[in-house]
Amino acid sequence: MDFFNVILTFAGMEFPILHYLTDETKTEIQEIMKFRILLVLMPLSFALNSVAQDCSTFFPFKEGAYMEYTTFNKKGKVESVTENTVKVINEDDGEIEAEVSTVLKDKKGKESYSGTYQVFCKDGKLLMDVNSMFNPAMQQSFSGYEVTIEGDALSFPNDIEVGQELPDASSKITTAASGINIASMNIEITDRKVEGKATISTEAGSFECYKISQTSNIKMMISRSYSTVEYFAEGVGVVRSETYDGGGKLQSYMELTAIEK
């Protein structure tokens, strides 16, 4: 997988160059990149823990905490399964950091990606490190090139309320060779709002959830816009996430299918 194919597929966009790849390679790349963009758009979260009272509503600051998410296409067929485990918790000067191990499996149960990312609790807010979402395997694909990643962390206040507007977030990835920019991609997450409440049922159980909507604008050569609706349960976190295209048509959805606190 060369650097250009990697960055072209990072946002789940399909450019003509991809048609020169085999179906198996395209499927693997797209599944991995769908997962990467999902991490940018969604706070992976779920259990309560007395160690981190300020942020525990939306993230399990507890070593060994586990959750499984299953992603379905618009027809309801399984596309992938993501397993997340909190491996390490570090505390320093009032800030708490969690290192999360992630394993992505395709619809046949074959592992297609594994890696880690960081989540922080600071000043009563849950923050996700945009840079850590750029996985080591992808970084290796850019060997010989200069990659710069800049961005804001997604923020989720613990005292969430219906009608509340949440802070925007953005990320920019620039690739250069010998000091010359080759490609860049901008991701902006805007219009984040707590729309209301709803009861959501999945294989993991039934949950009373907050409904949060947001818009994701991805720009690289061409622009593409997605709308995301996410359902959060207090003490659990994300229970369901739905992704719609610019025309409002459902493209895929993800559900919490297993949880161990």
Instruction: Report the candidate in 155, 99, 151, 96 with the shortest Cα–Cα distance to residue 125.
Output: 155
- The SS3 assignment for 93 reads coil
Contact 152, 162 (CB under 8 A): no
Contacts 24+ apart (CB under 8 A), 22-31: 25/1, 27/106, 28/106, 28/112, 29/1, 29/5, 31/79, 31/80, 31/104, 31/106, 31/112, 31/113
Q: How many angstroms separate the most distant Cα atoms in the chain?
A: 54
- The SS3 assignment for 124 reads coil
Report residue 189 as tokens: 């997450």
| CA–CA dist 86, 5 (Å, integer) | 31
Question: What fold, for 3-260?
Answer: YmcC-like fold (2.40.360)
**What's the pLDDT score for residue 142?**
52
**What's the pLDDT score for residue 196?**
96
**What's the pLDDT score for residue 8?**
35
**What's the pLDDT score for residue 191?**
94
| CA–CA dist 32, 199 (Å, integer) | 30
Contact 104, 82 (CB under 8 A): yes
Contact 193, 166 (CB under 8 A): yes
**What's the pLDDT score for residue 163?**
94
| CA–CA dist 255, 38 (Å, integer) | 12
Query: Residue ranges of the domains in the chain?
Result: 3-260
Beta strands in the chain (DSSP E): 66-73, 78-92, 95-106, 111-122, 125-128, 146-151, 155-157, 169-177, 180-202, 205-220, 222-233, 237-244, 250-260
**What's the pLDDT score for residue 203?**
96
| CA–CA dist 116, 7 (Å, integer) | 20
Can you give the pLDDT of all 261 residues of the chain as single tens digits? 333 333 333 333 333 333 333 444 444 434 434 444 444 334 333 222 323 345 666 677 788 889 899 999 999 999 889 898 988 888 888 788 888 888 888 899 998 877 777 777 777 666 665 455 555 555 555 556 666 667 776 677 767 889 999 988 887 777 777 778 777 878 888 999 999 999 999 999 999 999 999 998 888 777 888 899 999 887 777 899 998 988 889 989 999 999 987
Contact 250, 244 (CB under 8 A): yes
Report residue 192 as tokens: 């984040």
Output the CA–CA distances (angstroms, integers) from residue 44 to 84, 133, 238, in the order listed: 8, 12, 7
Output the CA–CA distances (angstroms, integers) from residue 64 to 29, 54, 88, 214, in the order listed: 29, 20, 8, 30
| CA–CA dist 187, 173 (Å, integer) | 9
**What's the pLDDT score for residue 144?**
62
